[in-house]
Amino acid sequence: MPEKILIVEDEAQLARFVELELQHEGYQADKAADGREGLAMMETGEYDLVLLDIMLPGLNGLEVLRRARKTVDTPVILLTARDTVMDKVTGLDMGAEDYVTKPFEIEELLARIRVCLRKNDRKAAGGSVLTAGLLTLDPGRHTVAYDGHDIELTFREFALLQALMENVNIVMSRNTLMERVWGYDYMGETNIVDVYVRYLRSKIDDVYGVKLLHTVRGVGYVLRV
Ligand code: CA
């Protein structure tokens, strides 16, 4: 089965050019010309990768990404003419894998697509189910459950919980968690880890009346069972 790539891009000529190049490389390619159509197509979950323009009519690309991340974790490469740090940080923070600034050389885009798809293959292949007490996390299927009850997590909440569950009973510093979940080049608020641990507690500890997520004062967090 050829890998399926969705191109969300309103510049018809550019979209067509990328589509032809992708087909030439043996990928299957579909196009969406505005944000809403792109989001609807992403949410089908049938794509292996999405090339997402930021400046789009309807919904802009960052908004498409933000909404899509509630349901799918398809890797996304953002395309944009705006080479601003803010967009890059916002995009990566919202779960984009990579970022290409227009105008780009098609060879550069193709190389990044290959890296992105390989990374995702490894993620799916290395997806053995993690458990901590009655809590289970399946990296391959991107699902979390407590005692068989599904828990809905956003992209970052999932990544944070995965990091903690891979290190059960081991204290992890805020910096380690931040690098692991938000990346080395994260430039936003440093209390982001605390905010997301709070989200996780409200969805797991509070709901099931357990205490899995512990604060280690001055250090970080640990998931204890
Ligand atoms: Ca555009």
Quote the ligand 1 centre to 19 CA distance (angstroms): 15
Quote the ligand 1 centre to 76 CA distance (angstroms): 16
CATH of the structural domain 130-223, one choice from 3.40.50.300, 1.10.10.10, 3.40.190.10, 3.40.50.620: 1.10.10.10
Write the CA distances from 3 to 48, 151, 173, integer angstroms. 6, 29, 38
Residue ranges of the chain assigned to CATH 3.40.50.2300: 4-125
d(CA 21, CA 38): 20
Quote the ligand 1 centre to 11 CA distance (angstroms): 6
Of 36, 77, 34, 79, nearest to 56 (Cα)? 34
123 falls in which pLDDT band (50, 70, 90)?
low
If one counts every other C-beta atom within 10 angstroms of the C-beta of residue 105, the result is 9
Looking at residue 215, its pLDDT comes to 96
Mean pLDDT of 22-29: 96
C-beta separation of 101 from 81 below 8 A: yes
Quote the ligand 1 centre to 186 CA distance (angstroms): 25
d(CA 139, CA 126): 8
Q: State what percent of residues in the chain have pLDDT above 90.
A: 66
Quote the ligand 1 centre to 55 CA distance (angstroms): 4
Quote the ligand 1 centre to 48 CA distance (angstroms): 22
Better-predicted residue by pLDDT, 48 or 185 = 48
Q: Is the pLDDT of residue 224 over 90?
A: yes
d(CA 39, CA 35): 6
Q: Is the pLDDT of residue 131 over 80?
A: yes
Looking at residue 119, its pLDDT comes to 78
Q: Which residues surround ligand 1, an ion (CB under 5 A)?
A: 10, 53, 55
CATH for 4-125 is 3.40.50.2300
Q: State what percent of residues in the chain have pLDDT above 70.
A: 92
d(CA 136, CA 119): 23
pLDDT digit string, tens, across residues 27-58: 999 999 999 999 999 999 899 999 999 999 98
Of 137, 216, 209, 123, nearest to 172 (Cα)? 216
Q: Is the pLDDT of residue 183 over 80?
A: no
